[in-house]
Amino acid sequence: MRAYRPLAIALAATFFVAQSPAPVVAGSELQPGLTTGIALGPPLPEGVYDLTLANWGARSTSPATDVGVLAPTWIVWSTPWTLAGGRLGFDVAPSAAQVSIDHPVGLNKAGWANPLVELSLKWDLGNHFYAGVHEGLHIPVTGPLERIGVAYNFASFMQVVALSYLNEGWDLSATVIYGTGRNGTTPGSFAPSWFNYDLTATRTFGKWEIGAVGFGSADLSRPYAGYARQSQFALGGLVGYNFGPVNIQLKLTSDVAERNYRGKDTRIWTNIVIPIWTPNSSNQRIAAKY
């Protein structure tokens, strides 16, 4: 039985808090692991798509740190236009987060994180290989998350390079992401530059999808003297089901290594992809066929 799975692009969120009594800025502005399970290399069919991405996890610090992330509506427009042989796309993604640190710190903050706007180009390289690039801008925000250094009151830029191999139900994808930072000393006004890599190896069986995911992240700079650069690597599994127009993936991941987070993170993720509009054309090319 043939099923079609929309392929979507990356969403921004910034959602680690340091596990010390005083929250400080930390890590990647794009949440590490967010693009796992999503092949970012292939061009999407022309149309408009909505993604809802949510995850929640706990880090084994003392006291424990819990972080939940929600992208309630991430709108992706895959245009009919091409540039340099690649399909041109645009997207916009608001996101929210809730951060809590258990007693005796007793921190509990929720609010909007930095929205992302992006443009992308996607190429079919032949022989089932695809490549994509993204240029993104994180828009400044103020509010509860900015005051604890989880969101930022300055603009930053992000570059994405993705490679995917899609054939006979296999999705083998790797995405590397770089983000800029800014020096400073006040929470919310500074962040390190950073690097993420997200890895996916899954296969579909009819409407089901099963496989493994992994991701890592690393701070590349010190925004102030004495800043402890953070890094992590996590592994996990994925199971998905294609309901027709709606594709749902569930992931469970856990850190196998970390530096300066003071504890390992275990996290459950949900990816929901819904096509809002696609042109009714018999020759519309679908990037991924299973």
Instruction: Tell me which amino acid residue 194 is.
Output: W
For 225-258, what is each residue's pLDDT tens digit? 999 999 999 999 999 999 988 999 999 999 999 9
pLDDT at 13: 28
Beta-strand relationship, 116-126 and 107-112:
unpaired
Question: What whole-number distance in Å separates Cα of residue 119 and Cα of residue 141?
Answer: 21
pLDDT at 26: 54
Q: Is 8 exposed, middle or buried (0-12, 13-18, 19+ CB in 10 A)?
A: buried
- For residue 53, which phi and psi values (nearest 5 degrees)? -120, 125
pLDDT at 7: 30
pLDDT at 227: 94
Question: What whole-number distance in Å separates Cα of residue 284 and Cα of residue 49?
Answer: 15
pLDDT at 106: 87
Question: What whole-number distance in Å separates Cα of residue 161 and Cα of residue 156?
Answer: 17
The architecture of the domain spanning 47-277 is Beta Barrel (2.40)
The alpha carbon of residue 163 and the mean position of all alpha carbons in its chain are separated, in whole angstroms, by: 15
pLDDT at 113: 94
DSSP 3-state of 145: helix
Nearest CA among 110, 114, 94 for reference residue 158 = 114
For 145-156, what is each residue's pLDDT tens digit? 999 999 999 999
Which parts of the chain sit beneath pLDDT 70? 1-26, 280-290
